[in-house]
């Protein structure tokens, strides 16, 4: 009889989870215990909406805007949850407080749910709400934030707004994942994909901005109206910098003086190479740095931040 191989102590469970707390079915539980049915429409059909907000140094950033967008998504998808906005806010706060995380990535989700009879009619499904908090993660790591990201524009076309409304945050990511693999094959670190007219749209989980002659532009068509994207508009108004949403060709992006991307997962992140070529002189530009600094400084603004009450605090 052949003996079974010994499991090395260095073996790492491929199903391991980061530390964190989830809320499901009225209870808080460790993130590793948060499960959904394989019959949930969110899993089977990507029939779900969600929103993500981050906690930085113990406070949520612009939580009200994330809640507003989540509720708009629920309404557009004809979903309902048994909680109002204040209750969801309290659930998110509690997830973070119980996790003890001072810097966290926090998500609220509603799936179409399941039908007791496995009906093909979405109206028979019972919608399901869940939330979780895990450690904060960024699209760009520390080195990339310092020197700027290397991005490739893929020929993959974003799902058109006539098919899936991009203002509803969703899990339809196969186009974005294809774009990522295109970028990796070309030696880049992440990707941008195109809209149906061949203009730049967005990347996997982020919007993009170009700076030319001191003016900021960002794609207006076929993109998620990101909260960090909106925050850049708000900061530009405060800083006296011109900013507009316009159609953006790949050529215009390549000719920019500076480029950066925006996401709740990372904030404002510089891009210094596009399609294998340096943007301008290949360094992080002064306007990008100014907006990055303003973005993180805004986290101390009480109008935009809501502190978490942790169990070990009075």
Q: Are residues 294 and 146 in the same domain?
A: yes
Distance between CA atoms of residues 47 and 41, nearest Å:
5
Q: Are residues 146 and 284 in the same domain?
A: yes
Domain boundary at 135, 157, 175, which?
A: 135
How much is the pLDDT for 293?
97
Question: Which of 117, 135, 153 is the last residue in one of the domains?
Answer: 135
Digit-coded pLDDT (tens) for 26-67: 999 999 999 999 999 999 999 999 999 999 999 999 999 999
Please give the residue range of the domain that contains residue 82.
21-135
CATH of the domain at 60: 3.30.470.10
Q: What is the pLDDT of residues 262-302, one digit of tens each?
A: 999 999 999 999 999 999 999 999 999 999 999 999 999 99
User: Same domain, yes or no, for 98 and 163?
Assistant: no
Residue 11, pLDDT > 60, answer no
Please check whether residues 164 and 267 belong to one and the same domain: yes
CA distance 269 to 256: 16
d(CA 4, CA 9): 15
String of b and e for 256-290 (b: at least 16 CB within 10 Å)? bbbbbbbbbbbbbbbbbbbbeeebeeeebbebbee
Give 245-264 pLDDT, tens digit per residue. Answer: 999 999 999 999 999 999 99
Instruction: Output the pLDDT for position 249.
Output: 97
Q: Give rounded-to-5 percent helix, strand, coil for the chain.
A: 30, 30, 40
27 and 148 in a single domain? The answer is no
DSSP 299: G
**CA–CA separation, 180 and 187 (whole Å):** 11
pTM of the model: 0.92
Confidence of residue 210 (pLDDT cuts 50, 70, 90): very high
Instruction: Report H helices in 139-187.
Output: 142-147, 174-185
> In degrees, to the nearest 5, what angle opens at C-alpha 278 toward C-alphas 273 and 284?
70
151 & 125 share domain: no
Report the alpha-carbon distance of residue 24 to residue 259 in Å, rounded: 40
CB of 261 closer than 8 Å to CB of 287: no
Q: Give the whole-angstrom CA distance, residue 290 versus residue 133.
A: 30
Q: What is the 3-state secondary structure (H, E, C) of 41-82?
A: HHHHHCCEEEEEEEEECCEEECHHHHHHHHHHHHHHCCCCCC
In this model, does residue 10 exceed pLDDT 90? Answer: no
pLDDT for 15 beyond 90: no
pLDDT in tens, 103-136: 999 999 999 999 999 999 999 999 999 999 999 9
Flag whether pLDDT at 142 surpasses 60. Answer: yes
Extract the runs of DSSP E, i.e. beta strands, from 175-294.
Answer: 190-194, 207-212, 215-219, 243-246, 258-263, 267-274, 277-278
């Amino acid at each position: 009889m052949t003996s079974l191989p010994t499991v090395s102590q260095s073996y790492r469970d491929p199903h391991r989870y980061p530390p964190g707390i989830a809320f499901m079915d009225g209870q808080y539980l460790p993130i590793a215990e948060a499960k959904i049915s394989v019959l949930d429409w969110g899993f089977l059909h990507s029939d779900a909406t969600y929103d993500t907000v981050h906690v930085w140094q113990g406070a949520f950033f612009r939580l009200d805007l994330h809640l507003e967008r989540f509720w708009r998504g629920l309404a557009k998808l004809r979903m309902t949850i048994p909680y109002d906005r204040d209750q969801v806010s309290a659930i998110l706060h509690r997830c973070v407080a119980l996790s003890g995380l001072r810097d966290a990535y926090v998500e609220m989700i509603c799936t179409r749910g399941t039908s007791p009879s496995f009906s093909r009619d979405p109206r028979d499904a019972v919608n399901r709400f869940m939330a979780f908090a895990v450690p904060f993660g960024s699209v760009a790591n520390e080195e990339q934030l310092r020197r700027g990201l290397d991005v490739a524009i893929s020929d993959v076309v974003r799902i058109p707004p006539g098919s899936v409304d991009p203002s509803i945050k969703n899990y339809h990511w196969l186009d974005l994942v294809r774009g990522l693999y295109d970028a990796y094959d070309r030696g880049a670190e992440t990707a941008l994909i195109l809209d149906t007219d061949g203009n730049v749209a967005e990347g996997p989980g982020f919007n993009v901005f170009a700076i030319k002659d001191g003016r900021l532009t960002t794609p207006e068509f076929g993109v998620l109206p990101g909260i960090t994207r909106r925050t850049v508009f708000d900061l530009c108004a405060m800083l006296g910098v011109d900013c507009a949403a316009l159609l953006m060709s790949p050529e215009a992006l390549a000719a920019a003086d500076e480029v950066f991307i925006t996401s709740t997962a990372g904030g404002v992140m510089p891009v210094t190479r596009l399609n294998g070529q340096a943007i301008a002189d290949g360094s992080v530009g002064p306007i990008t740095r100014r907006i990055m600094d303003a973005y993180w400084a805004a986290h101390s603004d009480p109008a935009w931040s809501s502190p978490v009450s942790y169990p070990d605090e009075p």
